[in-house]
Amino acid sequence: MDDGRFIWCRNCGAIHHVSAFDRSPVYRIAAGEVQEEQVDDWRDFMDRHAGHRLEPLRSTGNVVCPRGSACDPMNIAYLHVTDGKQTVLLRRSRSSIDKPFAYEIADGSLLQTDMRLEIQANAIRKEMQLHFSWAPAMPLSDEQINFFISLFAQVVQRVDPETLCVNEYSESDDQTGYCELPQAVIDELMEKSRDYYSPIQLAALRQFAEGHRDGGDVMALVKRGTTVFAQSA
């Protein structure tokens, strides 16, 4: 959540993000020595827009990056802000890593065009092959593991993504989150596996699924969204 404050100049459209870094000094190297330069970004903005119509804004939600993560300092991001009466969308960008973020009114809206669920097939396979203890059953063969993963993917296709809440978000992609695997999905998966595995193997598979269903584990479902910025007509 971005709880920052902004100042919007209605005369020229400039926007300043009020933050604790407004008065952070700038360090420059001159003649081989580091020199400290005192700055006051808020005061500079107020001086440049003296006599203009200024309005305070406050963010109302999360910073959204249609691509990648908001933690990437060079990523373009969007956030909604309000003056208490209307809400507008801001676009955040920067020209280089040593420049501060620039904010501008974005003439458009954010649209979520897709939401889907996926399984972590490679992570499941690796956990089953290398780490999970199948005792007292024998370890499953690669063919048996592949069948389980394929069946799991089929069952998940019938799950409505809107019914699941994200427990953890990806560190590299804000549009990707991990949801705890519902018990009902495990039960359906076990029922559909009955004709392929022995009872002792089924018991081991249930133990695996229920023991790795949490949001950060390999049986958690991956929830991916696609958010795009749509320019106003």
| Rounded average pLDDT over 68-87 | 85
Spell out the residues 6+ positions from residue 8 whose beta carbon is closer than 8 angstroms to its own.
14, 15, 54, 55, 56, 57, 83
What CA–CA distance (Å, rounded) separates 119 from 135? 25
CA–CA gap between residue 209 and residue 125 (Å, rounded): 12
3-state helix, strand, coil in the chain (%, to 5): 25, 30, 45
What is the spatial distance between Cα 41 and Cα 36, in angstroms, rounded to a whole number? 15
2, pLDDT greater than 60: no
pLDDT at residue number 15 = 94
So what's the pLDDT on residue 228?
A: 81
Higher pLDDT, 79 or 113: 79
Residue 222: closest CA among 63, 71, 115? 115
Query: By the 8 A CB rule, do 110 and 229 touch?
Result: yes
Q: Which residue has the tokens 């804004």?
A: 57
Averaged pLDDT of the chain:
89
pTM tops 0.85, yes or no = no
Percentage of the chain lying above the pLDDT 90 cut: 56
On the question of pLDDT at 28 being above 80, the answer is: no
Which alpha helices (DSSP H) does 19-102 contain, by range?
41-48
Mean pLDDT along residues 116-141: 94
Average pLDDT over residues 150-176: 90
Angle of the 142-156 helix axis to the 121-130 helix axis, nearest 10:
150
pLDDT exceeds 70 at position 1: no
